[in-house]
Structure 1
Amino acid sequence: MGKEKQREEMKNWLSGLSKKQYDLKSQKIHQALFSSAEWKKAQIVGVTVSRVPEVDTIPIIEQAWLEKKLIAVPKCQPKDKSMEFFILKAFDELETVYFGLREPDPTRTSHCEKSALDLILVPGLVFDKKGYRIGFGGGYYDRFLTDYNGTTVSLAFEEQVKEELEHETFDIPVSKIMTDETTYDFTVGE
């Protein structure tokens, strides 16, 4: 099954989640993340501002601020499909861009170097048990992660994790996937 078909199937499944299921599953994922060594070690966390039906990242951003961590949010450049992160200190530093995405306003936030990011929470729609993912189709993260040496974790509902996905040579797997049921760790044996 091709990536586009898998994207559409997952979007359909996600749109069928009730608000109660979505909230409960997101909360379980938050608990897994907050108790992880990756979270505890990280001082600067890269994360997108989610939109339903992605795992809710607003509580993650708020928890980071409570713990005096820095939050860096990506800003995408559609012309060359590149991405940069900016330090977000308040939600009013966000602007709404294409497709209703909320990204940092570069005139109100400061740039964060890739090497400064301790942990990046990598979004996606469908994942496999090897750490590969199908994103939303822009390829921004695969480009950004090519020379990133920090930790990558994806947050997903268990139903988003499949046995195996077709992947390209340029696809970069994440280190871990945390779901509402378990954590898949791909760093074992490294």
Structure 2
Amino acid sequence: MEDEIIQCKKSLRKKMLEIRRSLSEDIKASESKTIYQNIINSDYYRNSNLIMAYVSLKDEVQTLSLMKTVINDGKKLCIPFVCDRSGIMIAAYIEDLSDLVIGEFGILAPDSNKLRIVDPKKIELILLPGVAFDYAGHRLGMGLGFYDRFLSKAISAKLVALAFSCQVVSDVPSEAHDYVMDYIVTKDCITDCRAGKI
């Protein structure tokens, strides 16, 4: 059964990555802008002082404006930092986007020589990327398990997924170790995964 779920995940991941990567720049920019507005106007954003966000890849919901706003609003911002290829991920504070450098994986990350590590238990809000989501809050990531391992320590955080409309599907296969999102934010709505659309 477990092998079957893993194969279903691989198949869905391949399909959804193709769809996400085929989106035009205009669609990605437009949807990202509306998602940004939905987040900064939400109660869970207003009520959080320590926020973890991801540095977006070019085919993900864009987070540059969001990270700037977190800093400008006087909140504390932390960013994922992958320690090595064994799958260990930590969170590190940044005070300005200029603190980010090109990391080991070719994407912007906190400078490994200046890391200020965050206690995951103190993070109040985590904004997550993903490949696919369903309205029950199941998330399909890239399959490396970085977030699942990290989230086991972030016991107080609200988990909020950022998704293009095309990334929300009827059902995402899940396993016992997979974390369920509290909210999914698209351009069309904010879904409270425990209670339905709001």
TM-score (norm 1): 0.93
Stretch deviating more after TM superposition (77-86 or 132-141): 77-86
Instruction: Work out whether residues 103 and 111 of structure 2, in 8 Å CA contact, stay in contact via their aligned partners in 1.
Output: no
Q: Which residue of 2 aligns with 1:33?
A: 39
Give the structure 1 partner of residue 195 of structure 2.
Answer: 188
The 3-state SS of whatever aligns with 1:111 is coil
Compute the displacement of 1:79 (Å): 4.2
* C-alpha deviation, 1:28, in angstroms: 0.7
SS of structure 2 residue aligned to 1:38: helix
The answer on 1:161 being equivalent to 2:168 is: yes
Q: What does 1:71-110 correspond to in 2, within 5 Å? A: 71-110=77-116
Root mean square deviation, CA, Å: 1.6
Q: How does 1:85-164 map to 2 (within 5 A)?
A: 85-147=91-153, 148-164=155-171
SS of residue paired to 2:171: coil
Other structure's SS at 2:117 match: strand
What do the CA deviations read for 1:68-96 (whole angstroms, capped 9, x no partner)?
11110011123431211111112232222
Aligned residues with identical type, % of pairs: 27
Matches of 2:120 and 2:105 in 1, distance apart? 25
Task: Please say if residues 93 and 109 of structure 1, whose CA atoms lie closer than 8 Å, have aligned partners that are also in contact.
Answer: no
Unaligned runs of 5+ in 2: 1-6
Counterpart contact for 2:125–2:157, Cα < 8 Å = yes
2:17 matched residue in structure 1: 11
CA contact (8 A) 1:119 1:151 kept: yes
Distance 2:143 2:83 in 1: 14
CA distance in 1, matches of 2:151, 2:136: 17
Q: Residue 85 of structure 1: SS of its match in structure 2?
A: strand
Contact conserved, 1:86 with 1:106, CA < 8 A, in 2?
Answer: no
Structure 1 unaligned residues grouped into runs of 5+: none
Structure 1 pair 98–6 and aligned structure 2 pair: CA distance change class (3 A): farther
What's 2:3 paired with? none
Find 1:176's aligned residue among 154, 170, 183.
183
1:50 Cα deviation from its structure 2 partner? 0.5
